[in-house]
Amino acid sequence: MERADGNLRSNLAERARGVGSLRDFLELLEEHGQAVRWSDRVMPEPDLRNIAVAASRDVNNAPAIIFDNIAGYPGKRTVVGVHGSWDNIALLLGQPKGTTIREMFFDIAGRWGDASAQISRVSEGQAPVHECRHEENINLYDILPVYRINEYDGGFYLAKASVASRDPLEPDDFGKQNVGIYRLQIQGPDRFSLMTIPAHDMGRQILAAEREGVPLKVAVMLGNHPGVALFAATPIGYDESEYAYASAMMGAPIRLTNSGNGIDILADSEIVIEAELVLGERVFEGPFGEFPGSYSGVRRAPVFKVTAVSHRQNPIFENIYIGRGWTEHDTLIGLHTSAPIYAQLRQTFPEVTAVNALYQHGLTGIIAVKNRMAGFAKSVALRALGTPHGLMYLKNLIMVDADIDPFDLNQVMWALSTRTRADDIIVLPNMAMVPIDPAAVTPGKGHHLIIDATSYLPPDPVGEAHLVSPPTGPEIEELGKRIRQMQRGDVR
């Protein structure tokens, strides 16, 4: 762990606010030993996958890995694992390595609604993303050093692309631009399919464009500002701008420019692919190894035709390993799955003290709550199922008391072991559920399970056991720090 004195913290915070691009962030990561260059020659398959998986086993400390010697892709570079460990996320947030997940959760939760966006614009001629431009004879394989992410994926995927689009019916409304992460499968030299569902912003826009017969243009940004990658996956309202939101959450300015097809894009991204929806056409898409650790099925998905590609000189193609956890997907979106649920719950129930929805995008969540009365936590759980994310994802919910840290699974297991009665479990069958839940009998439907592991309060009969109350608080935390310093030899 880095020594987190005041100077280091303020320096780190300033450095994080100064990050304006993927390149800036890789430089910061390298300074802290959190990015490495892999210059031995590798085959696209299976080497890139194997190395990415090996790195992601160290969820706390894994570095980003930059490959610059890939067989068949001379001179091209790819990076994986940029958001692949808690230490990398900590540095992005301006915190020292070794910052606990709990600390980062409260850091993010505290930023909600706390700052204003700083959006600036640069002309296309000044934007690094437009340094090189291709408008004819485009072959995505000639630009992107892609590889098969999981062995039985249906093709070569761009799995960490931020897709920007304007509402096809209201193209002049800045707020109704959408920026989201969608999986894209390359479907030939200048086409790709895009996987979405009607509930996603992109799904709404595709349906609207096809219904009205109007064009839907998109700009696919690769190798982006790491804050946008982090926050573009956060569910926010349809008419809120993801750029403004990311800037506010990072407390840092974001530079935008125009794509060649008239969409606001990040000026400092590595690569942008401009494309247009092929109205009414569907192509086979999938399977794809998804975040629950299972393959999605084969479906027929919308397809886009590439119209141009811009990129920086010597661009870095950023991709992700996603599959059976832990993977970069979990560290990329875990805290930003948890924080909105926390914020939304506290609007109704300020008794909620923390939310851990790190597990498979919240298929399991743990909520800590000050239990006001017998059975209170069950009502909080039902409210959680009514949040935008809870509706489709919170399959298993464990409710614990406020004296349990939901990010400490030893404490959660203690609560389960000592505070659960068989009649404190509620199963709600045949509810809406994210279709890629591998346990689903009918994809799109599933159960919600609530386990109330909070303590008993009157009028519940409590029994004769009384809890041990070990010492807690700042004094114990200081003693713990001193013990760790003694272990490192910093203090004798």
Q: Which residues bind other proteins (CB under 8 A)?
A: 43-46, 71-74, 139, 141-142, 148, 151-152, 154-156, 185-189, 193, 195-198, 203, 206-207, 210-211, 279-280, 282-285, 287, 297-302
Name the active-site residue from 290, 318, 328, 478.
Answer: 290
Residue 154 per-residue DSSP state: S
Q: Quote the tokens at residue 375.
A: 């059975």
Q: With helix as H, strand as E and coil as C, how does 358-415 read?
A: EECCCCEEEEEECCCCCCHHHHHHHHHCCCHHHHHHCCEEEEEECCCCCCCHHHHHHH
Our CB check for other proteins shows the closer of 287 and 375 to be: 287
Min separation Cβ 194 and other proteins, Å: 9
The C-alpha atoms of residue 159 and residue 192 are separated, in whole angstroms, by: 12
The CB-of-205 to other proteins minimum distance in angstroms stands at 10
Listed in sequence order, the residues at least 6 apart from 179 whose beta carbon sits closer than 8 Å to its beta carbon are 162, 163, 164, 228, 232, 241, 242, 243
Residues 6+ apart with CB under 8 A from 475: none
How far is 355 from 338, CA to CA, in rounded Å? 6
Q: Of the two residues 35 and 48, which places its CB atom closer to other proteins in the complex?
A: 48
Per-residue CA distances from 237 to 344, 357, 432 (Å): 12, 20, 20
Q: Are strands 162-165 and 157-158 parallel, antiparallel or unpaired?
A: unpaired
- Tell the smallest beta-carbon distance from residue 69 to other proteins (Å): 10
Nearest residue (CB) to other proteins, 192 versus 231 = 192
Q: Other C-beta atoms within 10 Å of 96: how many?
A: 19
Smallest gap from Cβ 436 to other proteins, in A, equals 12
Q: Which is nearer to other proteins, 46 or 438 (CB)?
A: 46
Closer of 311 and 336 to other proteins (Cβ): 311
CA-angle at 407, arms to 404 and 410, nearest 5°? 65
Angle at 52 between CA 42 and CA 193, to 5 degrees: 90
Would you mind telling me the total number of residues written for the chain in this entry? 492
Closest CA to 330 of 101, 173, 169, 483: 101
CB of 199 vs other proteins, minimal distance in Å: 11
Of the pair 188, 235, the CB lying nearest other proteins is at 188
Find the shortest distance in angstroms from Cβ 251 to other proteins.
37
Q: Report the alpha-carbon distance of residue 450 to residue 490 in Å, rounded.
A: 46
Is 240 known to be catalytic? no
Enzyme catalytic residues: 290
